[in-house]
Amino acid sequence: MNDERQKDPASLQHIECFTAEDLLAYKTGGLPAKKRSIIFHHLNVDKCPRCREIYYLLEPAPQADLPPKISEKMVQRLKGIRPLRRWLSPPTSLEIGQLWTTSPEPKDARGKPIASIEAALPVVIISPGSGEKSYENVIRVIPLSFDTQYHLEGETLLIHEESPLGYPVLLEIFNERPMLAGNLDEYRGMLEPSVVKRVISARERFLEGNIPQADTSYLAWKQKEMELANYLSYPVNMELFSEEKIHNAFEIPLRQYKKAAEVKGIGLDEISPHVLLETQQFCLAVVQKRDQMLLRLSYNEEDQGTPASLMINGETVSMKTEAPLVYEALLGQVDILPTDVEISGKILDFEFDLFIHFTMDQKQ
């Protein structure tokens, strides 16, 4: 049943898929080696249904039609230019339960543009901060998705008839994050009080650690959704992290491997990734993969190779290639891992000193 899940045609996850021209060039033996490797991984490891379907339809000449599922309606919704059903005047202050689109050109706390993305996520406000729509106000939001078939009780909340947008949406409880209120774009409506109560209740259960079992299809989708939402919290992280020197401390729970192994088909690195450092260029995180704790570096666009320097508890460590744009280093086995680990190094222009305190998850 889980293998039958399909992403909605308007899913933002299609944003990072390849064009028909790229896939045709790949099929006919073109493109640089690096891009060919990335497309190979996308088609044969990620097994993207959308790109695989287009790939098999493409012929060298003339250009083949796109599959019926890849419609103009999807493209319009992705680009955020789908005609609105009605225009809503913005509220005087931000409140819990409001739905907003977000800016595809996020700005920092001083209102300076720092990035540009192809399509931005709609969000629900869960904590309005001071209530002002300003770049100085840090709020907390829950991203929305059109991929309703990926609903998983405990991690997401499905809204049908009560949706102010006029069509079903999925609230990604697992993907809650901070953002600058000034990066909200257009006001799209308000959740009914009964729905707000459901959101708060689902959020409380999630924060208590009631993580449900999930299949690999859901976990792969979840990781991609978290990556797509990184632009929301990036401006907040810029204020927390200095570009010259970064200091931070983290407490990370460990999962017992024997108990987790009973959950068939689940990669633990996809269940509970712990982000240490996130910038526009890369993400550094700690993930648990079965009985191993790994330090994972993933680049967002251009592969910049291994860090210029990396030390774990004072010892120089090298990261190994795990996948295109992804590098990993072993921190240790779960049962013999040191309680405290210091990670320092330099990635691109960022120097950092990170302190991690590992604890055993008592809620297993």
On whether both 265 and 347 belong to a single domain, the answer is yes
332: closest CA among 281, 296, 291? 291
Residue 85 lies in a domain: no
* Domain stop point among 43, 75, 107: 75
Domain coverage including residue 15: 2-75
Residue 147 lies in a domain: yes
Residue 90 lies in a domain: no
Residue 235 lies in a domain: no
Residue 84 lies in a domain: no
On whether both 318 and 262 belong to a single domain, the answer is yes
Helices (H), the chain: 20-27, 33-44, 49-57, 72-79, 193-207, 216-228, 230-240, 257-261, 268-271
* Domain stop point among 178, 200, 229: 229
Residue 88 lies in a domain: no
Residue 331 lies in a domain: yes
On whether both 223 and 111 belong to a single domain, the answer is yes
Q: What is the CATH number of the domain that holds 192?
A: 2.30.30.110
State the Cα–Cα distance between residues 268 and 76, nearest whole angstrom: 36
On whether both 222 and 270 belong to a single domain, the answer is no
Q: Report the domain count for the chain.
A: 3
State the Cα–Cα distance between residues 182 and 108, nearest whole angstrom: 9
Per-residue pLDDT of the chain (364 residues; tens, 9 = 90+): 455 676 655 565 655 677 767 777 887 777 888 888 888 888 887 777 767 766 666 655 444 444 555 455 554 554 444 433 456 788 999 999 999 999 989 998 888 898 888 778 889 999 999 999 999 999 999 999 888 888 998 899 999 888 887 778 899 998 999 999 999 999 989 999 999 999 999 988 887 776 777 888 888 888 888 888 888 988 887 766 544 445 577 888 887 765 444 445 544 444 467 889 888 888 899 988 878 889 999 998 888 888 888 888 878 888 999 888 999 999 988 877 888 888 988 898 888 888 888 887 655 5
* Domain stop point among 198, 229, 260: 229
Tell if the pTM clears 0.85, that is, is over it.
Answer: no
On whether both 209 and 102 belong to a single domain, the answer is yes
Residue 338 lies in a domain: yes
State the Cα–Cα distance between residues 25 and 19, nearest whole angstrom: 10
